[in-house]
Structure 1
């Protein structure tokens, strides 16, 4: 074959060549069982065979290779983006820095400032959360503040009440405080209300019928008054009778300056000597 004929043949083959990614796919035929070492060739155009010219063979081989996406630093899904994502995850998973710890003087001042504006006893846990300080530092610091007020002889004191801490005026100055606050106007509980409140405080939780039996009179109206003033509240029902149970509230502890009902004074010193005889007589 002459060189002109060979060039014409290569041109025809190049024009008829189809890229691999555009070729139709067809299922591979099952291999013939007769000959274990042979199988039917796949359908489709035969690969171009180029001989004689090395340069044309190299060009044809290069054209037959599909483009390959490389994992560059800027490419999607590349190694560079994976490294950036891993670095971002590491930065995001870093633990936040703990808040700075206040020195003793600053912690003392912050606690005093908060205690001056509270309108009800505040717990040590809430103070620790607000100041972002360890809870174990709050209690000892409050004890030091309370001891300092007492030693200095201030007209107020810091003490525990209703499960928290609050500033109170000292009992020895109560008459002056009442004169300033009340200015001649006083709202006091009646004797019946005080007796009913005492029964609930020492017998809680207790039903209305039990309170009436102890006092010997009907106490429904008095209990409603105590509930409306926030000193007594309902706390469920009795399992047997379904009657409402009553107990004292946090306001009751706050008004009396008690931390819990366990701080109530014992009743034994106030009972008469013949209390057992009186109890037998009423049966």
Structure 2
């Protein structure tokens, strides 16, 4: 069923974010005006994965953020690294990374709780993370003032190339609300210099 494989390939290429199997199925079912079996979609995805393992391709099909997308292969990290260095201003700052680390491990968490851990005002870092769609407001706390609570988004998992929050590095000492900024950097293994996003 090469035509099905080709349609799925096109959907993955066109999608700006990892596309989930259910979304692929919905698109195909509407296009063909008939239900497309899950096993046919799974088979096509497997053939695509095998196809792009060939050395003639500089990219490969990966599963990340609960969906599928094409990403460049590790062998081309050097050239990509040069490009990323030139675009370093787009990377997260240390402050944003520390704030994101706290939210990832403590969510749902309020800004006040984040600031108690970091020891500094986090307004700018939180806003930057919201702008990049790496975190979102998940609700309000049942405490005085009903402060907003923050949590990570699917974009966060895509950014770091994981499929589930359980895949985050296990912190060595991240048990109390009195952890310092240095503890966040040294013990969560989620430092800007150590954890880099998957590159498209």
TM-score (structure 1 length as normaliser): 0.53
Residues 221/129 of structure 1: CA separation in 2 closer, same or farther (3 Å cut): closer
Rg (Cα) greater in structure? 1
Following the alignment from structure 1 to structure 2, what is the Cα–Cα distance between the partners of residues 203 and 171?
32
In structure 2, the residue corresponding to 1:122 is in which secondary structure? coil
1:126 is aligned to 2:28: no
Alignment of 1:256-271 (within 5 A): 256-268=160-172, 271=173
Q: Which residue among 130, 144, 159 is the counterpart of 2:47?
A: 144
Q: Which residue among 215, 224, 231 is the counterpart of 2:118?
A: 215
Following the alignment from structure 1 to structure 2, what is the Cα–Cα distance between the partners of residues 257 and 111?
21
Following the alignment from structure 1 to structure 2, what is the Cα–Cα distance between the partners of residues 229 and 116?
22
In structure 1, the residue corresponding to 2:138 is in which secondary structure? strand
Residue-by-residue CA offset, 1:73-97 (whole Å, 9 max, x unaligned) = xxxxxxxxxxxxxxxxxxxxxxxxx
Question: Could you say which residue in structure 2 is the equivalent of 1:115?
Answer: 12
Question: Could you say which residue in structure 2 is the equivalent of 1:191?
Answer: 94
Residue-by-residue CA offset, 1:118-150 (whole Å, 9 max, x unaligned) = 211111112122223223321343133224423
Following the alignment from structure 2 to structure 1, what is the Cα–Cα distance between the partners of residues 5 and 85?
35
Question: Could you say which residue in structure 1 is the equivalent of 2:78?
Answer: 175
Residue-by-residue CA offset, 1:1-36 (whole Å, 9 max, x unaligned) = xxxxxxxxxxxxxxxxxxxxxxxxxxxxxxxxxxxx
Residue-by-residue CA offset, 1:39-80 (whole Å, 9 max, x unaligned) = xxxxxxxxxxxxxxxxxxxxxxxxxxxxxxxxxxxxxxxxxx
Matched residue pairs, number?
169
Residues 203/122 of structure 1: CA separation in 2 closer, same or farther (3 Å cut): same
In structure 2, the residue corresponding to 1:223 is in which secondary structure? helix
Residues 245/146 of structure 1: CA separation in 2 closer, same or farther (3 Å cut): same
Question: Could you say which residue in structure 1 is the equivalent of 2:141?
Answer: 238
Higher relative contact order (Cα pairs below 8 Å, separated by 6+ residues): 2
Question: Could you say which residue in structure 1 is the equivalent of 2:158?
Answer: 254
Following the alignment from structure 1 to structure 2, what is the Cα–Cα distance between the partners of residues 258 and 224?
23
In structure 2, the residue corresponding to 1:247 is in which secondary structure? strand
Structure 1: any 5+ residue segments left out of the alignment?
A: 1-102
TM-score (structure 2 length as normaliser): 0.73
1:201 is aligned to 2:98: no
Q: CA RMSD in A?
A: 2.5
Following the alignment from structure 1 to structure 2, what is the Cα–Cα distance between the partners of residues 183 and 216?
30
Deviates more, 1:197-206 or 1:251-260: 251-260
1:196 Cα shift? 0.6
Residues 171/266 of structure 1: CA separation in 2 closer, same or farther (3 Å cut): farther
